[in-house]
Structure 1
Amino acid sequence: MLFEPALALTGATYGALVDIMYRPDADAVTAWVLRDRHGQPRNWHQVENRSPWRTAEAAFVSFVPDHKQRHDLAVMGWKVEQTQGIDELRVVLALARGEATTDPTTGEATS
């Protein structure tokens, strides 16, 4: 089964993420991004100084609560990285809307 966490966004979560995009300081927002084995963003959450979003490891658990699934994804090369700005957030929201995105390194469509 293919894991697509961006597709699991609730309406409220989607709205909150859109609100972040339009904040005056959006380019300075620090966040965790869940990347697939190709390095493409699959989910995004602003870094918070409280659990469960304090560390990359805790963020991975929050993105993928199921231990076995998280382990399998990690073995396949999925990882959580810290990022700044909203470029990855734009990709995640496009995925949640069902839009194809483009790999910035190859220019090829991803889904």
Structure 2
Amino acid sequence: MVLTDDNFKSIVNAIEEGKGVYDNIKKFFVFLLSGNIGEVAIVFISLLIGLPAPLTATQILLINLVTDGLPATALSIDPSEPDAMKRKPRKRNEKIQKGLGNFLIVHPVLMTIVA
């Protein structure tokens, strides 16, 4: 970290901003991955049971462009959580999906069942 002024409050602001960016990346990751796992599961299951593919590659790309683009952008500019500075620092080698295993399994399964 490089200080551009003599104010150490800049360090606190930079850490808070960094935690906010990390949280937004995590939200973005969960949003895109949970939705796309559901899409892949629908295509895979239909091919396993001998049905034709429910979606072509072009349709999947169009769905991702229309339904994922704006919400994902909104998640990326989400403001920091108010309690971000109260949380303990995370480890450098901590994976972004830590603690999301159940959600990344249950959510796509439910989306596949509903579809």
TM-score (norm 1): 0.25
**Greater RCO (CA < 8 Å, at least 6 residues apart):** 2
Q: Of the two, which has the highest radius of gyration?
A: 2
Q: Which has the higher helix share?
A: 2
